[in-house]
Amino acid sequence: ELEGMWTITPSGRFGNLMGQYATLFALARLNKKQAYIFPNMANSLSQIFKLTLPMLHQEAKAQVPWKNYHIADWMDEKYKNILGDYIKLSGYPSSWTFYHHIREEILREFSFHEYVTEKVNLYLTKITAQRQNVTFVGVHVRRGDYVYVMPKIWKGVIADRNYLEKAMAYFRNKYKDVIFIVTSNGLDWCRKNINASSGDVYFLGDGNESEPQTDFAILAHCNHTIMTIGTFGFWAAYLAGGDVIYLTNFTLPDSPFLKVFKYEAAFLPEWIGIAADLSPLLNQSLNV
Ligand SMILES: *[C@@H]1O[C@H](CO)[C@@H](O)[C@H](O)[C@H]1NC(C)=O
Ligand SMILES: *[C@@H]1O[C@H](CO)[C@@H](O)[C@H](O)[C@H]1NC(C)=O
Ligand SMILES: *[C@@H]1O[C@H](CO)[C@@H](O)[C@H](O)[C@H]1NC(C)=O
Ligand SMILES: *[C@@H]1O[C@H](CO)[C@@H](O)[C@H](O)[C@H]1NC(C)=O
Ligand SMILES: *[C@@H]1O[C@H](CO)[C@@H](O)[C@H](O)[C@H]1NC(C)=O
């Protein structure tokens, strides 16, 4: 029987919540404690996933004598021995270093409700039409606030059209009949910058940031993934489980981002990184 009550403060958006859930699940397991999730985390994630962690009752949430415990964005030996029966973790962990050793269980936590899978399959069947043996590549292009946060705050860049072109070429060369499904919180930019003339690119949805679950479910059902930056793309890739192309080395050496982010803790070793073009940043700093 597991003792205590451990939880994690939900912060950020969908991909962050998944990272927080997986990290809580793994660390509570290591420390032999019972984990519970906040109602708003349950509300967001259980819309599509068959989660098993119980939800904290509102009353318990208020009355439990929580001890706050901040965790970094990657695993550390000391997290194997966190003392306390009422730990409330906080932070933005997403790194596979916390939970990859129990990958099967994490994937089971994030398995989709049947109604979601049925909806996704209907969509995929519709775009596949008469073609046999199509290879689906989910493409997640993170834009939105990152368009300015990355260069201005983190001394970094986000994915540009060249990156996406190279990543797509990889899949076009490797597989016969590829279909790219592009999701983004900047879909207009994608329509302008992704060359869809060969007829193998589908732009998905309305880019509605408040309803990410549908986009996520479709990406995760694809065979392979092109991600850019951010935890949403990471999780889609982790669940899809095929080949993954990611943007790497997207920060200057003195970026403050590197204090909270480690490339090697963020991306699995077998995934394929394409280095970002940092020249826009360098030109910008020369101009200042
Ligand atoms: C289906 O496509 C995959 C990937 O391109 C290929 O490896 C496989 O041989 C194909 N199978 C058939 C039956 O054509
Ligand atoms: C888009 O790709 C096609 C080949 O599929 C190429 O002929 C065309 O020049 C490309 N367009 C742009 C704007 O790069
Ligand atoms: C986005 O989703 C929210 C929540 O379902 C809805 O209220 C809003 O109207 C949607 N926005 C767009 C542009 O579709
Ligand atoms: C590719 O993904 C589709 C949709 O989820 C699935 O039906 C198919 O079995 C997958 N193909 C392979 C080779 O895994
Ligand atoms: C990213 O930078 C590291 C450290 O400089 C280097 O070892 C690695 O090869 C780079 N990755 C790519 C894909 O260029």
* Ligand 1 pocket test, candidate residues 134, 136, 170, 176, most atoms within 8 A of CB: 176
Same domain, 130 and 101: no
Same domain, 88 and 118: no
The pLDDT tens digits of the residues spanning 243-278 come to 999 999 999 999 999 999 999 999 999 999 999 999
pLDDT number for residue 207:
60
Q: Which domain holds residue 170?
A: 114-287
pLDDT number for residue 58:
86
Backbone angles phi, psi at 217, to 5 degrees: -60, -40
Domain boundary among 68, 94, 109: 109
Same domain, 101 and 85: yes
Same domain, 132 and 263: yes
Query: CATH code at 155?
Result: 3.40.50
Residues of the chain with pLDDT under 50: 288
Same domain, 208 and 272: yes
pLDDT number for residue 288:
44
Q: How many domains does the chain have?
A: 2
The pLDDT tens digits of the residues spanning 139-161 come to 999 999 999 999 999 999 999 99
Please state the atom number of ligand 5 nearest to the C-alpha of residue 274.
Answer: 13
Domain boundary among 90, 109, 128: 109
Same domain, 274 and 186: yes
Nearest CA owner, ligand 2 atom 14:
195
Same domain, 229 and 215: yes
Same domain, 130 and 228: yes
* Ligand 1 pocket test, candidate residues 133, 134, 135, most atoms within 8 A of CB: 133
pTM for the full predicted model: 0.93
Domain boundary among 109, 138, 169: 109
